[in-house]
Amino acid sequence: MLALFLALVAMVLGPAATSSADPGWWNPVARPAPDSEINVTGEPFKGTDAQGRVRGFVDAHDHLMSNEGFGGRLICGKPFSEQGIADALKDCPEHYPDGSLAVFDFITKGGDGRHDPNGWPTFKDWPAHDSLTHQQNYYAWVERAWRGGQRVLVNDLVTNGVICSVYFFKDRGCDEMTAIRLEARKTYEMQAYVDKMYGGPGKGWFRIVTDSAQAREVVEQGKLAVVLGVETSEPFGCKQILDVAQCSEQDIDRGLDELHQLGVRSMFLCHKFDNALCGVRFDQGALGTAINVGQFLSTGTFWQTEKCRGPQHDNPIGLAAAPSAEKRLPAGVAVPSYAADAQCNTRGLTELGDYAVRGMMKRKMMLEIDHMSVKAAGQAFDILESESYPGVISSHSWMDLDWTERVYRLGGFIAQYMGGAEGFSAEARRTDALRDKYDVGYGYGTDMNGVGGWPGPRGADTPNPVRYPFRSTDGGSVIDKQTTGARTWDLNTDGAAHYGLVPDWIEDLRIVGGQGVVDDLFKGAESYLTTWGGSEKHKAGVNLAAGAAASASSAEWNPFTSYAPGRAVDGSTGTRWASDWSDDQWLRIDLGAPGLVKRVTLDWERAYAKSYRVELSSDGTNWQSVWSTTAGDGGLDTARFTATPARYVRIHGIQRGTQWGYSLHEVGVYSS
């Protein structure tokens, strides 16, 4: 009777059925049997809206292939298998018969780690919203999310060499780049696996894309555009040991070239451990302590903190005990204590990190800013802003939220971690005004298989539950409870147990947070592809100040080197102009001819200006102040202002930030 009732409901709610001879382009011609159900009826939407924009949701942070990382035994199960679902969705060997050796499950979830290890067909204990070691990205579950309206998925290739090395169980080596290559290959194999069901190469709904135009074509066809990213702790072997970098600029170039050839278009430069490129944003609690131990085992140094220089701060550092991790420390070594008022990582972006950011820009790749310390993120923002480069992504709520507008101002994209409907909706509302201001959509980062935890159930007795079946956001499909084998999941009582429940979670957002939250998410695919396209189209601006004539109020005298004004426009960051050691000083640049000036970049040496102005003039006598600050902090500054005709540019120092004078390595002047 229940089946008959649901069939009648689908007839009433659903679109007109296709003939039995024409199952629809969205249905495979040869799905493996047995297999998971999809439990969605109706044709996936195609095309663009009336303004020519693509539609659909974007998951900016997922880990389809993390079961291949960490030595191959940390995440149990596979997203697909040629041997079928029984092989794909089975537990790790050491978890049988009762999960007694599910060590990582115990570490991440608590309890004793025991569980029913059987996956297919019963799924008694996994996947679950709080089970962090079991496969959540089975291909049919991803298919359900696509059928429910998702059109972009970023598959972050992920691993961690230290976790791999200390974990008891593994069936392969721990080299991070070897794991990244394997995960990339497996993603292409998954594409071929889906294609085979639909009749051959290129016919499936799972499409790996390598440029934004290709992604738009895929979305317009109603299919899922899959973007490859990288999230690992020591990319290209760029670790640091006792503060000594273990990689070079050549290693970075080779690594970026290889990743680009694999199809990777976005990446994190640091993750969990401080490396030779940048310092990280700390983890909290016992997990933070365990990761700090891992950092020491990998690098010989623990995290180091300092008082934050601005309103942004890193996560509170983990202080809770983590006995199973701490016992791995050498005798006499202990995790240090940290001052409560020192919440920022001392490590920022290194010179190699600076080189890597610029290398990504040259290759039109997008930089993932999450996991960077606020010092490193701030320096990365400085570089991106100095070049007006839009390719910056915050994909899962690990950036200081005070920088939201800084991302949007550049043209970047933001996604929020897949949290409970109430919390997710509240955070989305907090930034509504900024999205309206910059006319951008929003994304979510599921972080499935990323050892993070997902929305729990709101309960069968909640007054506003998800009611099955329900319509997809576009209105063209009907979505019922998801069934795999003998198990049927209900978001109200099971929470977001696996990827197939993403549409159910979005419906929960609509119920709890309102249609506006979902509408912003439905604009996410367009905004993500706009950021990507802007990165691809970016061209370095012409520096009007390069080699120009320069003069100054003063120049520091030194018998061994010159600090003349021209050193600030000679194209070398190894030289600099330096003034006398007093406040009121200026550097003047003659562009040689009048032109529009819109942006000025200033690369300060340690002797920086706390308060200064950017002034323009057509005749070198009458000056107009177009930009100023009283909160300069050194480093790389970018002054933006309304495009103004000028021949002369003057940097006018009002108050020094140090005991020395003002000193600039390079000044750039741009009309765009």
Report the domain count for the chain. 3
Number of other CB atoms surrounding residue 246 within 10 Å: 15
**What was the pLDDT predicted at 9?**
35
Average pLDDT for residues 639-643, to the nearest whole number? 94
Rounded distance between C-alpha atoms, residue 601 and residue 355, angstroms: 18
Average pLDDT for residues 552-569, to the nearest whole number? 96
Q: Examine the domain organization and report whether 445 and 398 are in the same domain.
A: yes
**Whether the predicted pLDDT of 5 surpasses 60:** no
**What was the pLDDT predicted at 563?**
97
Q: Examine the domain organization and report whether 218 and 129 are in the same domain.
A: yes
Residue 508 sits in a domain whose CATH number is 3.20.20.140
Residue 457 domain-assigned (yes or no): yes
Q: Tell me if the bond preceding 32 is cis, omega within 30° of 0.
A: no
Which of 289, 355, 294 shows the shortest CA–CA distance to 318? 289
- Ramachandran quadrant class, 582 (left: phi over 0; alpha: psi -120 to 50; beta: rest): beta
What tens digit of pLDDT does each residue of 257-295 get? 999 999 999 999 999 999 999 999 999 988 899 899 999
Residue 556 sits in a domain whose CATH number is 2.60.120.260
**Whether the predicted pLDDT of 14 surpasses 70:** no
**What was the pLDDT predicted at 103?**
80
Q: Which domain holds residue 637?
A: 549-670
Lowest mean pLDDT among 173-182, 282-291, 470-479, 498-507: 282-291
Residue 4 pLDDT class (50, 70, 90 cuts)? very low
- Residue at which a domain ends, from 537, 557, 572: 537
Residue 271 domain-assigned (yes or no): yes
Residue 170 domain-assigned (yes or no): yes
Lowest mean pLDDT among 32-41, 167-176, 344-353: 167-176
**What was the pLDDT predicted at 216?**
98
What tens digit of pLDDT does each residue of 214-225 get? 999 999 999 999
Residue 323 pLDDT class (50, 70, 90 cuts)? confident
Q: Examine the domain organization and report whether 361 and 429 are in the same domain.
A: yes
Residue 420 domain-assigned (yes or no): yes
**Whether the predicted pLDDT of 163 surpasses 60:** yes
**What was the pLDDT predicted at 110?**
67
Residue 4 domain-assigned (yes or no): no
Q: Examine the domain organization and report whether 119 and 267 are in the same domain.
A: yes
Residue 395 pLDDT class (50, 70, 90 cuts)? very high
**What was the pLDDT predicted at 6?**
36
Whether the pTM exceeds 0.95: the reply is no
**What was the pLDDT predicted at 287?**
84
Beta strands in 359-515 (DSSP E): 366-368, 392-394, 413-417, 443-445, 470-471, 478-479, 482-484, 487-489
- Residue at which a domain ends, from 345, 366, 395: 345
Q: Are 663 and 578 within 8 A, CB to CB?
A: yes
**What was the pLDDT predicted at 17?**
36
Residue 18 pLDDT class (50, 70, 90 cuts)? very low
**What was the pLDDT predicted at 184?**
98
Q: Examine the domain organization and report whether 306 and 417 are in the same domain.
A: no
**Whether the predicted pLDDT of 604 surpasses 50:** yes
**Residue 592 to residues 155, 545, 598: CA-CA distances in angstroms?**
50, 9, 17
Average pLDDT for residues 389-403, to the nearest whole number? 95
**Whether the predicted pLDDT of 399 surpasses 50:** yes
Q: Examine the domain organization and report whether 430 and 568 are in the same domain.
A: no
Query: Which is it for the CA torsion 376, 381, 383, 389, positive or negative?
Result: positive
Which of 451, 282, 440, 461 shows the shortest CA–CA distance to 375? 282
Place of tokens 């970047």: 412
Q: Are 171 and 79 within 8 A, CB to CB?
A: no
Average of per-residue pLDDT values in the chain: 93
Q: Examine the domain organization and report whether 72 and 82 are in the same domain.
A: yes
Residue 194 pLDDT class (50, 70, 90 cuts)? very high
| Collapsed DSSP state (helix, strand, coil) of residue 257 | helix
| β-pair partners for 372 | 280
Rounded distance between C-alpha atoms, residue 304 and residue 551, angstroms: 42
Q: Which helix (H) or strand (E) holds 228?
A: strand 224-232
Residue 22 pLDDT class (50, 70, 90 cuts)? low
Average pLDDT for residues 193-204, to the nearest whole number? 97
Q: Examine the domain organization and report whether 510 and 648 are in the same domain.
A: no
Q: Are 659 and 624 within 8 A, CB to CB?
A: no
Q: Tell me if the bond preceding 469 is cis, omega within 30° of 0.
A: yes
Q: At what angle do helices 351-362 and 374-386 cross, to 10 degrees?
A: 40
Q: Examine the domain organization and report whether 339 and 352 are in the same domain.
A: no
Q: Are 616 and 649 within 8 A, CB to CB?
A: yes
Residue 572 domain-assigned (yes or no): yes
Average pLDDT for residues 172-185, to the nearest whole number? 96
Percentage of the chain surpassing pLDDT 70?
Answer: 96
Residue 560 pLDDT class (50, 70, 90 cuts)? very high
Q: Are 502 and 145 within 8 A, CB to CB?
A: yes
What tens digit of pLDDT does each residue of 355-388 get? 999 999 999 999 999 999 999 999 999 999 999 9
**Whether the predicted pLDDT of 11 surpasses 60:** no
- Residue at which a domain ends, from 500, 516, 537: 537
What tens digit of pLDDT does each residue of 109-133 get? 767 778 999 999 999 999 999 999 9
Q: Which helix (H) or strand (E) holds 536?
A: helix 524-537
Q: Examine the domain organization and report whether 226 and 323 are in the same domain.
A: no
Average pLDDT for residues 497-526, to the nearest whole number? 98
Residue 308 domain-assigned (yes or no): yes
Residue 15 domain-assigned (yes or no): no
**What was the pLDDT predicted at 617?**
96
Q: Examine the domain organization and report whether 131 and 232 are in the same domain.
A: yes
**What was the pLDDT predicted at 8?**
35
What tens digit of pLDDT does each residue of 405-456 get? 999 999 999 999 999 999 999 999 999 999 999 999 999 999 999 988 999 9
The token pair that represents 319 in the structure block: 């202080």
**What was the pLDDT predicted at 1?**
39
Q: Examine the domain organization and report whether 362 and 478 are in the same domain.
A: yes
**What was the pLDDT predicted at 276?**
97
